């Protein structure tokens, strides 16, 4: 039997949980801003939305959700829990990832520490921190309930799918879009992006692919992306399909093919299992995103899929993702 002297009581376990959440909040809340977004009109600016933002650098770069600042000529004010307020402009936004970078007129902000969502596990404790409507931080805690989700995103001209979204039961409050999803050690591993239902939150992961997006937005104000037009998720390959996949054990399953997309024109179908692009193995959505670089726009690209237990080679010509 477990030693009663070393087994924590329920009260002790709850106290440890509380201390973890409190530590994360105290460290991270000063790095999360409340955003009031405005649009220029004749005679001044009018409010058009609100959200939260995460400090990237001391000199004013902030990370938020693209839908928070959707539209042209967006600017506004960023407020912090210490009472300071700074004006900001939108540097660039990438609707495919629902990420945007802002530049505030500030020089001494406290940057958040970015982590890597690749290390997340289902059941892991996470803390969601936003700063909606100027309140002194809105905090919810919960666990990662699923990984690798897909989230549809649409504009007036294009339908898109945001892949590899983190699902958590840390409920999100209005205005929390663009806020931080952090692990128990305070590393930001996601950007809260939507409320999908009661007791359900979604976040765009911070990983190698999204770090590249953030860097491109900071330096160039835009991200050139090749686009296939599919929604997909990770899936272990059935044993009978592994021979056709040349020994691969993981793939990206095509869940949906967008109408009139490069994928549809190439003959990709729902339930196809993508195992390689241009000869490079694809074991997850991140692999596929990293391979869809700007250099592939307009070029013929070979994609290997497993369909009905057989390997099929398709030729796709990605187009550039446009707004």
- So which residues are the catalytic ones? 67, 98, 177
Question: What CA–CA distance (Å, rounded) separates 281 from 271?
Answer: 18
Q: Give 28's Cβ-side CA count (13 Å radius).
A: 33
Q: Which residues have CB under 8 Å from 78's CB, separation 6+? A: 33, 34, 35, 53, 62, 85, 86, 87, 88, 102, 104, 106
Q: Which residues have CB under 8 Å from 312's CB, separation 6+? A: 272, 304, 305, 306
- Two tokens at 300? 């013929």
Rg, Å, the chain Cα set = 21
Question: What CA–CA distance (Å, rounded) separates 303 from 178?
Answer: 34
């Amino acid at each position: 039997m477990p030693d009663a002297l070393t087994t924590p009581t329920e009260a002790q376990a709850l106290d440890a949980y509380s201390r973890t959440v409190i530590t994360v909040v105290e460290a991270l809340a000063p790095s999360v801003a409340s955003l009031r977004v405005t649009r220029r009109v004749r005679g001044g600016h009018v409010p058009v939305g609100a959200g939260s933002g995460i400090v990237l650098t001391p000199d004013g770069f902030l990370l938020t959700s693209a839908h928070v600042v959707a539209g042209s000529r967006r600017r506004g004010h960023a407020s912090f829990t210490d009472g300071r307020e700074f004006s900001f402009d939108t540097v660039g936004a990438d609707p495919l990832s629902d990420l945007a970078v802002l530049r505030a007129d500030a020089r001494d902000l406290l940057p958040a520490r970015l982590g890597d969502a690749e290390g997340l596990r289902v059941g892991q404790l996470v803390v969601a921190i936003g700063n909606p409507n100027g309140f002194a931080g809105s905090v919810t805690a919960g666990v990662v309930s699923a990984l690798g989700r897909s989230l549809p995103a649409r504009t007036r001209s294009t339908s898109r799918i945001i892949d590899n979204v983190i699902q958590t039961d840390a409920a999100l409050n209005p205005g929390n879009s663009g806020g931080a999803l952090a692990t128990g050690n305070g590393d930001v591993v996601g950007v809260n992006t939507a409320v999908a239902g009661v007791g359900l939150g979604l976040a765009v992961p911070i990983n190698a692919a999204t770090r590249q997006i953030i860097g491109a937005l900071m330096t160039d104000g835009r991200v050139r992306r090749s686009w296939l037009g599919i929604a997909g998720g990770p899936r272990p390959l059935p044993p009978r399909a592994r021979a056709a996949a040349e020994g691969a054990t993981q793939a990206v399953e095509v869940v949906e093919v967008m109408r009139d997309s490069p994928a549809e024109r190439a003959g990709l179908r729902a339930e196809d299992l993508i195992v390689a692009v241009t000869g490079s193995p694809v074991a997850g959505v991140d692999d596929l995103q990293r391979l869809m670089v700007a250099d592939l726009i307009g070029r013929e690209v070979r994609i290997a899929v497993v369909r009905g237990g057989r390997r099929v080679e398709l030729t796709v010509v990605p187009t550039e993702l446009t707004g």
